[in-house]
Amino acid sequence: MPNKEIDGLSIAGDLYDFMSFEVLAGTGVGAHQFWTGLARIVADYGPRLRALLQERARLQAEIDAYHRAHGSEPFDATAYEAHLRAIGYLVEAPAPFSIRTANVDEAVARIAAPQFTVPCSNPRYLTRAISARWSSLYDALYTSDVIPEDGGAERGQSYNKVRGALVIERGRDFLDEVVPLASGSHRTVTAYVVVNGALMAAIDGGERTGLKDPEQFAAYQGRGEGLSSILLRDKGLHIELKIDRRHPVGREDRAGLADIILESALTTICDFEDTVVAVDVPDKINLYRNWLATVKGSLRVQFKKNGRVTDRLFSADYRYQAPNGGPSLLFAGRSLAMVRVTGPQRLTDIIRDADGAPIPEMLLDIAVAALAGLHDTRRSKPPRNSEAGSIYIIVPKLHGPAEAACLDEIFTLVEDMLDLPKNTVKLGLTDEESRTSLNLAASIHPVADRIAWIGTSPFERARDEVDTFMEAGPIGGAAALLAAPWMKAYEAGDVETALACGLGGMAQIAKGRWTEPEHLARLVAEQAEDLRQGASTASMPSPRAASLYAMAYHRIDVSQRQKDIHTALTADTMRVRFVEQLGTPANKAPLSADEIMRELEAHCHRTLAYLVRCIDRGVGCSRVPDARGVIRMEDRSAVRLSSLCVANWLRHGVVTREQVIDALRRMAERVDAQNKAEPGYRPMAPEFDGSAFNAAAELMFIQRGAAESDIDTIIAMRRREAKAGQPPEISNRFEFLKGAMGKLETGEAFYGTND
């Protein structure tokens, strides 16, 4: 279909038709209004964004020169800070302030709870995540490793009563802990009843007792002694007791309790970025169509599971009776959806500007995401995505205050274009670049009227640190990098600065995703530390994980922790945290040859295991085994980190080019073996010349520049190649530095491809 030319923009025809017939329809915004508005934003802010990216490159060149001059000396934090201030990398912190964001949903601002991050390319995952606001604690305990399998408690293929009994005990203990009875234990309850608006429990011996805190009884379904559901409330979250004496579990339970349902993931990030692979018009339309259907509540998917066709829709809201006999109460059945768009370094050729150049993809993403959000903000009847009438857009890869200020201006122009009240579009600020972390208060300040989310990303922060300190010397292992003192200071400092800027109770403070979906016992044991640090949410890999992690939000009062942390903050403690973040990731203690090889193999395996699904199948986030066979949820952030770690070792002579190539080939054979049972899998060995393997080799030998942009360009180019089924453009993959890399650096190889 021919492109549509409007006000200097050349728009892919299929995208124009999709926007006209699906997104714009029903919003009151005309096609001319939208496209001319976008054209003005592109004309004004395309050059601004390019200038900001050039400033990134200038600053990095200054930092590289400093490290080359001082790399052999002990790290001097005072001198390094002075250098960063002299070149403009560090700016003066603003005077103390509090954010002023209004109309933020309670699920975002006030209630601490788990969160999902889901690829917006997959409607099946989207419907599952949005509908998993409520999930079964019994199922999560039974199917996870939280309960050991010894003593006859194996999970097995059929229901194990021994394991079931342990699940029920664990569930009752949880109820005693967070919604205790005035006397006795939930373990000894034989029936729950509602009497004069109060929940009563009959326990052994016929005695009746109420809740220790009667206010925790929120609502119910059923009558008298024929209750079918009891809704309890703790720290803003709800716990549902399902009563069903005909259910296989309830039939054998003294109180007829068939399940405990926890309100778990209150919010879901629908991702356009690292968990998806969107390289052409059909891919982008798929993302936009799924986001549109999500905010409209109309997303529907059919798929086969266990030989049967399953029809999945969003969960409806739940209606309960009020304890005092008043009007019935409605509780949200859906998770609130946010969207994460691409960062400012990415370009897209599905629209070209007046000079024929690709436009910043972020500008298109923000405009389309906000336009789709109109279908929700202008809806008068429930269910609505945002009861507060807001649209939540998270933007990654921002470097510091100037880029945050530019983004606020872009959001304002989009609101004007769509006739939205100012600050309707709420901003999520991802703290994943060192220039943002070290200037965090100054980065929050220009968006103080619209920020509603801030979050960390350990893998991306580590990647940026490796890139920033590339010239300082060789780094150690990735595990040591992620556990380094500066990383701990970054995680704690993000929360402390957010609280100092008034985000507590006003916005969501998030931590990165748990990446080991099969190791949930560790999740329960370790991740509670995020809550103690004051984070109000963390991203979970599954509803099962969210249900288990939700228990921590009942055990730890995050709101009180935030108040305590904020009260204890002083200028001196925040200064110490800042200096700790200046620490270098360079490793002055040499690794053994065996340690180097194991680490190199792990990086090569991670990269190949991800890329073989990303490039061959278009899967941006999936469960992949690591080099030891441990299942991990991987997205592009892990590949960025691994490729830069190898680039660092090549730069400093820790490994040779030949060692990297040999490790890639050996790990390709291992990845082939791990995937051999998957239908349609295309092995990389013995030719080692497919798109996925070639991309991995290119990433390992990447020339430095805007690292994340180069990596994304390579992946996108190879994905397009795989989709088209075309032969590789480069005859010798390990000689690509002789010309082919020049195409990657200029973008010619990527942007010269037609959709």
**What burial class does residue 308 get, using C-beta atoms within 10 Å of its C-beta: 0-12 exposed, 13-18 middle, 19+ buried?**
exposed
CA–CA distance, 135 with 114 (Å, rounded to integer): 12
C-alpha count within 13 angstroms, C-beta hemisphere, residue 253:
29
β-strand 336-340 against 347-352: which pairing, if any?
Answer: unpaired
Integer distance in angstroms from the first to the last C-alpha of the chain?
Answer: 10
Q: State the chain's maximal CA–CA distance in angstroms.
A: 85
β-strand 4-6 against 9-11: which pairing, if any?
Answer: antiparallel
Q: Tokens 């560090």 belong to which residue?
A: 90
Collect contacts of 409-413 with beta carbons under 8 A, ≥24 apart: 409/45, 410/41, 410/45, 410/363, 410/366, 411/366, 411/450, 413/37, 413/40, 413/41, 413/44, 413/45
Mind listing the pLDDT tens digit for each residue in 719-745?
999 998 744 443 333 333 333 333 333
**Does the annotation mark 635 as catalytic?**
yes
**Does the annotation mark 340 as catalytic?**
yes
pLDDT at 384: 92
Q: Which of 172, 340, 346, 632 is catalytic?
A: 340
Q: Which of 253, 280, 467, 635 is catalytic?
A: 635
Q: 183: how many CB neighbours lie within 10 A of its CB?
A: 12
pLDDT at 530: 84
Specify the pTM: 0.93
pLDDT at 535: 95
**Structure tokens given for 655:** 């490994």
pLDDT at 752: 27
pLDDT at 629: 83
Q: Which residues of the chain have pLDDT under 50?
A: 706-709, 726-755
Residues 6+ apart with CB under 8 A from 150: none
pLDDT at 305: 76
